[in-house]
Amino acid sequence: MGLVDFFKNKVKHSQKSPKLNYSTNGTSISIGEFTGEYHQSSKGRFILAWKSSGDNGKYILLDRGKIKLQAKMRHPDNGMVSNSGVFLLSDLTSKGMYGVFHVINSDGETLIKQRCRANLGSAGISDDGRFAVCQSLESTSKSDSCRLFFFDIKNKKLLWKKVPETIGSELNWAKSYRFDTKRKVLYLIHDKNRTYRYTFEGTFLDSKLYRHDCINSGNDIEFLEALNGLKSELSESTDPQEYVDLIVPLEKGLKRFSDRDTRSKIHRVLGEISLLQGNNAEAIKHFETALKLNPRVGVKRTLEKLKKTG
């Protein structure tokens, strides 16, 4: 059965198709007259290839070099295939902010079909083909914008969707995902290989690590968001070592950022840490500097009280 024959119908699969000659170049694959993007399963058995051409996109699943399945899809993208042959594709429609996330097995059965009122970004599937994740992008939909969707493929259901804590106001999407199916942990992998964990139930496990990374190496917006989160958590019951661990990156922030408002907020937090450590003299210095940089930084009354008590 030839390549053209397959595309005459919506979906076809064959166990008896001949082994094909194909070539790859970077992220591109050529199979006869078909050229598109591809992904290969980690053990190498399966290759998923796809291309988007107007509203006439196509995809092909190869099993040990033979065509196992192929079909049409309007705008296939972000494809991945697992070691079991279960694969995912996002159909990025031409009708504005709207996408459809598909999970399909090697027999052509659709296991998951999630419509989303937003364009779709990065996606991932576990090596065993039992779990999948996809990220929707920003849209006007309150329920679907910026959501991370997590699926149980075996039971054909959406387990949860949420705005991930790690995107921040700058919309820093995860670039890829890793699944630990034994421990039931999902890893979100961001730029600079920053990695954060969620449970398969959707609980974020690395809030302190994320905050530390934003303070230590984030841009000014990430830095200030992390500072706001830190201020709400500072208390006399906090482990003193946490203060010590934070002082160095905060002081580095004074060197990294020149904006007066940002610097004033850093001095405010350093002053609050000094106050909680019982170092009133150091707290006064930081609060005075914060006020000079920004009279509205919010420490005037605290500073006056400190000076009165000596």
Q: What is the residue-wise DSSP string for 133-155? A: EEEE---S-TTTTTPEEEEETTT
pLDDT tens track for 185-205: 999 999 888 999 999 999 999
Q: Topology of domain 12-161, per CATH? A: Methylamine Dehydrogenase; Chain H (2.130.10)
Whether the per-residue pLDDT at 280 is higher than 60: the answer is: yes
CB neighbour class for 41 (10 Å; exposed up to 12, middle 13-18, buried from 19)? buried
CB neighbour class for 241 (10 Å; exposed up to 12, middle 13-18, buried from 19)? exposed
Residue whose tokens read 């009354």: 301
Q: Round to whole Å and give the CA distance between 165 and 168.
A: 6
CATH of domain 214-309: 1.25.40
pLDDT tens track for 261-274: 999 999 998 998 89
pLDDT tens track for 104-145: 999 999 999 999 999 999 999 999 999 999 999 999 999 999
The values of phi and psi at residue 57, to 5°, are -70, 165
Q: What is the pTM of this model?
A: 0.80
Q: Round to whole Å and give the CA distance between 123 and 77.
A: 10
Domain boundaries defined on the chain? 12-161, 214-309
